[in-house]
Every structure is written in C-alpha cells, then in structure tokens.
Chain A
Amino acid sequence: MNVHVQECPVAADVAPKPVRRENGQREVFCGLTGIVWLHRKIQDAFFLVVGSRTCAHLIQSAAGVMIFAEPRFATAIMEEKDLAGLTDANDELDRIVAQLIARRPEIRLLFLVGSCPSEVIKLDLSRAALRLSQKFSPAVRILNYSGSGIETTFTQGEDACLASLVPAAPPTRTSEDQLLIVGSLADVVEDQFIRLFDALGIGRVQFLPPRKASALPAIGSNTRFLLAQPFLADTARALEDRGAVRLAAPFPLGVEGTTAWLRAAADAFGVAPTLFDAVTQPHRIRADRALFRYRDQLSGRRIFLFPDSQLEIPLARFLSRELSMQLVEVGTPYLHREHLAEELGLLPDDVVLSEGQDVDLQLDRCRAARPDLVVCGLGLANPLEAEGMTTKWSIELVFTPIQGYEQATDLAELFARPLVRRAKLVA
C-alpha cells in the first residue's frame, strides 16, 4: 500500500498544507447509505437500489433495522439468471419497477440507484430510467445515479443523487439573482436559514434537495448557490453547467462558519454590512455565549478524526478555532481543494491532514498518539473503546442537525458527551 506525503496548493494566498495520501483498506460506507437520510428528506421520492443481497443488507444495517413503517427504499436483488444476459436483466428491472409502482402508487419520483454489481456487469441504468420514464410519465419521473462502493464513499451518494436532480430542474423564469442552498439540511435548520435570509432581505431562497421532488428549484445563470455540505463536487459541477455560480465560503458549522457562509450570500446579494451585522449579531452573541461551557470542557483536548463523511475538515476548523481543541490528525475520504479552500485557510498551519485511508496504519497512528477523543465509523468505535479510547460515531454528525447558529452547541455537545461519560464511570 503506498503512502506518500505531498505538497498541495490550496488557495493562492494560503500556504499549502501537506496532505498524507493513503491507499489501502478503507473502512467507509458506500454511497448507498445516503438513501437512509435522503428518503426522509425528499418526501415523495422512492429509492430502488439495483444490486445484490449485500447492498440490501448494507442499507438495512446502516438504518439499524430501526424503521418500522415500510420505508421508501428497497432493493432489486440481482440473481444468477440476471447476470447471464443483459436483455434479461432489463426486462427484470421493468417488471420490478412496475410491481413497485403498483404497490406504492404515491411515488412521484423514483431513483434507480446503481451499485457495484450493476456497474460491473454494465447494466445501463440511465437508459433504463429513460425507458421507464416514458412508460410511467407523467405520473412518475424516473432518474438514476450511482451509489456504488467502487465509485462513491458514504456522503458522495448524496452528491450523485443531487447531481441527478439538476438536469430535471426547470430553467429560471426571471433574470433577477436567486439564491440556492445545496445539500440536505434538517427541516428545522432550513427554516432557521430561511428566517435569516428573509431578515437580510434575500427573498426567494430555494433548496436542493427540495422537500417534495415535485417542487424542484429553478436553475439558470442568475442562480447563485451556496453549498451547505462539503461533499457536493458533482452537484456543483452540474449546477455550473447550467450557468449557476457558486459562492465560495466555509461551511455553516459553528458561529464563525455560519457567519462567513451567510456573509458570502450577503455580499453577493449586495446586503449592506450594517444590516448584516444587525441581523447576525444577536445570533452570534447568543451562540457564542452558549459555547462557553463546552470550551471549558474541550479546550486543549486532543482529537483524532478518521475519514468518513468529508465533514471532517469543517469540523476540525470549528473544533480548533471555537473550542480550542488540538487536532492530532484530520482524515477525510476525499479532499476537494477548491470547495474547501476557505476551510483549509482557517486550519492551524501544522495540521496533519490525511486523504484516503489504510485503516490498519491509521489505527497504529491513532494508538500511538492516544488522543482524548476519536471520531470514527461504527465498525471501529467499540474496539477502540475496548482499548481504552473515547470515541464518537462520525455518522451521528451526518444525521444530527449541526448547521447554523442555534445548533453550534448541539455540535459541541456531541464531542463533549463521550468525555463526560468516560469521566463519570468508575466501574
């Protein structure tokens, strides 16, 4: 397995930070996992994975067998006979989709989600989506994307899904600039941002994904978009292809990140600095005051982040700058230098960044460093706890509303709680 450290330039005015690149065994979910939160977010969509029993088992296990109503996802499990000839597999897929739509007539948007097996046998899901769309339109629109583990890691599945929505979005009708927020946010967070943008005088904010697939935002060259998540490379590219312009900003985590993120929009929409301050200041003060208690608990503590969601770099920035934690290593499955340029600029100069993973080597480094807190995936947490380390599940950071001012303390609490717990237990 090859490991090499190389210099990589980030933004022109910031010193390039070295990144350790690893290519070995990874311990990261595949992009199918995004379905677990996307099906909650887009309320009239259904996700049909075209894959194997492993794919079905993965989403079931990632969802923790937790949902007891019939969820809005399913798997078309390929069998021996489907692998034999491709025409056969297409017929089978048509049959399954017809069966599904008959069962769930409320479906308005159906995603055919590609997996490793469907990609390896080169089952063309985009052709299938077109064919099936013709058959079921206008009642049901059928799109496709890949969540396969050979193409995507964990949160990249959301990226692929959102990117597939972009061509289906209508063109903008006016020439006035419009703001689009890109990336799944909890509804409560969305509503908070809507109120803030309103107060700033930036009306008509749209979201991708929308809560209802039938209400896709309009996109055109007058669209200005802010990424709410750091893992949306393909979606951003698709939007740019439609003429939309990305507003460069850090991500809305913590007080500082949220302010800078809002400011990027405010600047683009010509909001007066005094208005910006008047609107944001009460929120900043309140959130900052609430963070005080956590700063006490977390400052100086050493943290090690395993690569998982691509949220690691904005998180590290928040932890180091707002909570004074020490970053031992910040791993990310993939580092998008352009989208993260503002974040990288805010990280301490001596930060150790790693991209990709060789899990055994990384575990060795983690054990040697004995950090106070380790952020890692579900498969690693209990074994590390058993070795005496304190851990936090990285997936919670994806499922919990953590963006915006009002959530800054919730975010801090996620890191403080494992430490509090360890301190409490005597037996």
Chain B
Amino acid sequence: MQLTVWTYEGPPHVGAMRVATGMEGLHYVLHAPQGDTYADLLFTMIERRDRRPPVTYTTFSARDLGGDTAELFKTAAQNAHDRFQPQAMLVGASCTGSLIQDDPGGLARALALPIPVVAVDLPAYQRKENWGAAETFYQLVRALAGPSAPAPGTARPERAAGVRARCNLLGPTALGFRHRDDIVEITSLLAKLGIDVNVTAPMGATPADIARLGQADFNAVLYPEIAGQAASWLQRTFGQPFTKTVPIGVSATREFVAEVAKFAGVDASATLASASTRLPWYSRSVDSTYLTGKRVFIFGDASHAVAAARIASDELGFKVVGLGTYSREFGREIREAAKRYDVEPLITDDYLEVEVKVAELQPELVLGTQMERHIAKRLGVPCAVISAPVHVQDFPARYAPQMGFEGANVIFDTWVHPLMMGLEEHLLAMFKDDFEFKDGAVPSHLGAGHSTPAAGGPVQPPSNASNIAVVWAVDAEKELYKIPFFVRGKARRNTERFANENGVATITIETLYDAKAHYAR
C-alpha cells in the first residue's frame, strides 16, 4: 500500500478515457462501479467539453456481485453499440472491474458486434494514467492499422516525385496540456515546410483514420508519453521513422523542423529564416537582464519538464535548481537532463516530497503542475503551470500553444508574467515607503480571491527548514521591514536558516546582513 494525499496521475483507465474522448466514432465500455463515473467531470468540467465522454459504465453494485455481472457487461455493450453506433469499440475494466474477473474482451467477442472491438487490459494496481493512455493507443493502432501492414521485410515504397510528403501527428489526447492548440501550431508549421498531415491521433481521429496511419511517410511524435510505444510499432511494421525532439522552445522547434525536413526530403531553410518568434529578442532586450540567473524549480510530466529546463536555461538565462517528474517511465530522460543542469533529479509521485524540495531549494520561480501551483502559493513563490494535472483555468479561451514558434512566445509571456519586470523591480524598491505600495500585497498572478499571506510575509515553509526557534531583535525586525515586501519573506527565511545553522539565538541587524552576505550570489 502507498499512502497518498494528492496524486499527479489518475488510474490507467482514465488514460484510456483520454484517448477515447479525444477520438471520434469510438466508444469505450468500462466495467466499473457507479462512483467511477466521476471521471466524466474531468472532461466536461476541467476541459469544458461540450459532450459527455464516449464512455458507458456498467455501474455494477454489490447486489450484482452475487448475480451475473458478466451479463450486465454484455447488456451494456450491446446497448452502447445500438445507441451510439460507433465505428469501433474499446472494452475494459476499472480497478474494481478487474477484480471480478469477467473478461470484457471475451464477453464482447461473444456478442459478435459488426465492428472492431479492442480489449485493453490495464493492470490498475501497478500502472497509472499516462501508461494507460499509451497502452490504449498502442492497442488501438495495432488492432486497426495492423490489418493493412505489409508483409514483414517489405521495403517502404518510394514516394513518387512531385507528391508532397505526409506525416502523422501522434500523441495529443483529451485533457492534454495545450494539446488542442499545439496541433494547430504544428500543422501550420508543417504546411509551411510543404508537408501534409495524414492523420492526427488520437485527438480528432476516427477508427478509420487510425486504420490508415501506415500511409504516411513518417510520424511526428508530439507527446512521447502517449505515442512513444505506438510510434515504435509503426516504425517496425510500416518502416515509418519518427521524430525524437518535442518541439517546445525555440531551439527544440528548430531541431524538430530539421528532423521532419530530413524525413520529408524538403529544404527547411526558408521556413527557419522566416520563423516569427519574439522569444530570442525579448530575452536579449535590456528589461530581461533581471532574469539572469533567477533560480527556477521545474516539475511535471517528463516531456514538458525536460523542455522547460532547456528553455529556462538556454533561452531565458534562468538557473535550473531543481528538475523532476512524476512519470517514472521517463526516469532515464529526466536523469539525463538533470545531469546537464547539474541538479539532483527528483522522480516521485509524492507531492509532499516535492513540497519539501521546493521549500529547501527556495527557488524564485516554480514551473510545475496544478499541485506545484498550490505548493508555490503556500510558500509565496511565483509559479507558472507547464504540465498536467491542471485546473480549469489552464484551458484558456485564447489560442495558447506550447509548441512551435508561437508556443515559445506564449511561454515567454506566461513564465515571465508572475515575476516582477526589470525596471519595475527598481522602481518598487525606490518607492517602497510610499503609502500606495500596500505592504503585503500579493503578486498579481495569485489573483483576487486568494488569501493574502499572513502578515509579515508569505507563509513559512514547513518547519524542516528551520528547526530551532529564533528570536528577532526589535531593531533587526524593523530593518527587515525596510526590505521590499516581495523579497522580505525570502530574506526572513534565509536569515532564520542562517541563524539556525550558526547557532545564533537572537537575530540582530548584524545577523541580517551576515546572512545577506552569506546567501549573496
């Protein structure tokens, strides 16, 4: 057993739902108790979808257990087929459904429905959401595209001269972090290169579309967490190469363009030359000087976290002080990236462990998930969300991709906004004594309706940061209040930590400045 308060990922069948809900013409029949229908609200509320997810739950109850739950499953599957007339059906069980061992695949086969039925067996007590999505997508691709596979060993026929190259975009799902907009961005980038999109999947694809994945020349993998396994199979089966770079950030987008250009045999130089992105210039502009060496902590799914670290370090000039993920499947990738920034990789799905790490590292910016937004708020640190799990506000009404050149622009804005701007920082320091500058004002990104941190600065980090009670001398405390409020919390923590580490019981003005000198970079 594992003790959990919050979790980053849902169970694997929720991953399967993300694939099914992203697609069209597919229906998922899930052997599950009634409470499991909560998953619908992830899509209709958090993502604000205007349709129910295409899922029928059997919603068996205790009194059914003694009777015939298998019959219940068959009835539900038959009814779902008759009512929704899908092109294909996905069948499976949730964690409780799998314990009663009814074999949804076998039961569905017995119904002899006139459509392909794909059974996905997701080990609910071992695996989680992203894995479930990847496995589901892979099984769907095998089952639906498999029949048109060439005989093993057959070489891919050459593309006829004058025919534009075609690729598939793989990986976007329902509830994905900005997947909806990333598809638009990457599709238009490919169009500029003269490459057509054969199928985008799972998002927007029908089972019939999945069946023609093999017709593309190569695959662009936007989100390896979900499409990695399917892409490898397509490579083995249809000889389609696939991209390795996730196009998030300016450099990564350029590399991605080079990769696809090579696969498609096109010249990318014109597209790269005309690429419209303001990130590099904004980063060089004088106002951005203040970003230099800002300490940033990054946590999220592996793709977004690795990409974020690269942007933070190479494109914004931050210092990456922490990098981690909850996706154990991608531990290797995170460890490699962490080496590049010389930080200890944090691979965990215990958000309390992440909180302790953030408190300990005292970053000036947190890039994380909805969980880290809460952690950062508690600690009074600015934060931007870069990865699922997310909140309804992370599905903005405006166009806000993360990928491609426009994605880089969006990223510049969203990461930099929680911070104070360059000149602003100096002006605030200058005018800090003016009455308009309300003490204790919260950074604007935390928004109205959020509780103002307790008087005297942001909430203290969990007590493991300072273990002995230290006392502030009156004049030292006065001096502390001369420090601008937006850095005061940090100054207080640093000084207390310094006092603790040096066995100082009463903090004087001297201690304050000793600590300042100690922590100065």
Contacts and interface: CB of A to CB of B under 8 A. Distances in A.
Contacts of A25: 37, 56-59, 76
Interface residues of B, number: 60
Interface in B471-515: none
A99 B3 contact: yes
B44 A381 contact: yes
B1 A92 contact: yes
A83 B95 CA distance: 12
A350 B4 CA distance: 49
A58 B38 contact: yes
Contacts of A346: none
Interface-centre pick from B7, B34, B52, B391 (highest chain A CB count, 10 A): B34
B10 interface: yes
B519 interface: no
A176 interface: no
Interface-centre pick from B2, B9, B352, B389 (highest chain A CB count, 10 A): B2
Contact of B96 (A28, A74, A80, A150): A150
15 contacts: A25-B56, A29-B38, A30-B33, A52-B11, A54-B11, A55-B35, A57-B11, A58-B38, A76-B1, A120-B65, A149-B96, A151-B61, A379-B40, A379-B41, A382-B45
Given A52-B95, A68-B374, A386-B50, 16 more contacts: A25-B57, A52-B125, A54-B13, A57-B39, A58-B35, A60-B6, A62-B38, A65-B6, A70-B352, A74-B4, A89-B1, A95-B1, A150-B96, A378-B41, A379-B41, A383-B50
B278 interface: no
A200 B210 CA distance: 72
B341 interface: no
A77 B76 CA distance: 29
Contacts of A58: 35-36, 38
B59 A56 contact: no
A382 B48 contact: yes
Interface string B387-400: 00101000000000
Contact of B36 (A83, A149, A383): A149
B212 interface: no
Contact of B37 (A26, A50, A119, A151): A26
Given A53-B11, A382-B49, A1 B75 contact: yes
B172 to A, nearest CB: 21
Contacts of A148: 33, 35, 62
Contacts of A117: 95-96, 99
A375 B76 CA distance: 25
Interface in A375-427: 377-383, 385-386
Interface in B367-395: 370-371, 374, 377-378, 389, 391
B1 A380 contact: no
Given A76-B3, A116-B35, A61 B51 contact: no
B35 A57 contact: no
Given A54-B124, A96-B1, A150-B65, A30 B35 contact: yes
Contact of B44 (A24, A57, A360, A380): A380
B96 A100 contact: no
A150 B5 contact: no
A148 B371 CA distance: 26
A27 interface: yes
B50 A382 contact: yes
Contacts of B57: 25-26
A65 to B, nearest CB: 6
Contacts of B94: 54
Contacts of A121: 99
Interface string B1-36: 111111101110110000000000000000001111
A128 to B, nearest CB: 12
Contacts of B42: 61
B128 interface: yes
Given A26-B59, A83-B125, A378-B45, A65 B389 contact: yes
A31 to B, nearest CB: 8
Interface residues of A, number: 64
Contacts of B378: 68-69
B263 interface: no
B4 A56 contact: yes
Interface of A: 1, 24-33, 50, 52-58, 60-62, 65, 68-71, 73-80, 82-83, 89, 92-93, 95-96, 99-100, 116-117, 119-121, 148-151, 153, 360, 377-383, 385-386
A61 B128 CA distance: 16
B184 interface: no
A78 B65 contact: no
Contacts of B79: 1, 24, 360
Contacts of B65: 120, 150
B60 interface: yes
Given A57-B11, A65-B391, A150 B1 contact: no
Given A65-B389, A68-B377, A54 B36 contact: yes
B397 to A, nearest CB: 13
Interface-centre pick from B1, B14, B39 (highest chain A CB count, 10 A): B1
A27 B37 contact: yes
Contacts of A100: 3
B123 interface: yes
A77 B4 contact: yes
A96 B100 contact: no
Nearest to B75: A1
A383 B52 contact: yes
Contacts of A62: 38
B10 A53 contact: yes
A114 B34 CA distance: 15
Contacts of B391: 65
A92 B42 CA distance: 31
Contacts of A33: 35, 38
A71 B7 CA distance: 13
B7 A56 contact: yes
A342 to B, nearest CB: 28
Nearest to B45: A378
B154 interface: no
Contact of B38 (A53, A150, A379): A379
B126 interface: yes
B438 interface: no
A25 B40 CA distance: 13
A401 to B, nearest CB: 20
A30 B99 contact: no
A21 to B, nearest CB: 14
Contacts of A73: 5
A122 to B, nearest CB: 11
Contact of B35 (A32, A50, A60, A385): A32
B2 A76 contact: yes
A79 B389 contact: no
Given A26-B37, A71-B5, A79-B1, A54 B10 contact: yes
A56 B5 CA distance: 8
A28 B99 contact: no
Interface-centre pick from A56, A65, A82, A148 (highest chain B CB count, 10 A): A65
A377 B40 CA distance: 10
B96 A120 contact: yes
A67 B192 CA distance: 45
Contacts of A379: 37-38, 40-41, 44-45, 52
B92 to A, nearest CB: 13
A15 B435 CA distance: 71
B521 interface: no
A80 B126 contact: yes
Given A30-B33, A120-B100, A378-B44, A53 B6 contact: no
Nearest to B84: A360
B83 interface: yes
